[in-house]
Copies of this chain bind each other. A is one copy, B any other.
């Protein structure tokens, strides 16, 4: 189906959401993956680009884990997704490095995909981690345990 987000982007947002809920204290991936059936090993791979992008800070050794590198209000979902998955580019010919030979300037469909990309970025950039956490407070969860999607 079109315009799919892979599990990497999906899980990345969920990890960041958990970190935002944990506030200042370091959360281990073991804890984050424990409440769900997600592989800790897989989450390690997903966290790496988040760290490299300066969105989280890792602390090694006993008692280590991750914290948000910034306030939750200063981190958008868009930053998270792009850090893990790269830029939002629905179709090749809209990408930065796309050669004009592969897509002539007068390609009319191009503007459609550009608009789609912008619309996606707009939505993602308009939502911060704080927004996600606040919603959680406003309408308290009826079910205990994790709030992750999918497996």
Contacts and interface: CB of A to CB of B under 8 A. Distances in A.
B2 A77 contact: no
Interface stretch (A3-11, A44-52, A63-71): A3-11
B6 A5 contact: no
Contacts of A92: 149-150
A132 B109 contact: yes
A120 B124 CA distance: 12
A119 to B, nearest CB: 4
Given A3-B90, A85-B1, A119 B123 contact: yes
Given A81-B2, A112-B13, A115-B123, A148 B87 contact: no
B150 A120 contact: no
A14 B112 CA distance: 11
A77 to B, nearest CB: 6
A82 B89 CA distance: 18
Interface in A116-151: 116-117, 119-120, 122-124, 127, 132-133, 135-136, 139, 141-143, 146-151
A134 to B, nearest CB: 9
Interface of A: 1-6, 9-10, 13-14, 17, 77, 81-82, 85-93, 102-113, 115-117, 119-120, 122-124, 127, 132-133, 135-136, 139, 141-143, 146-151
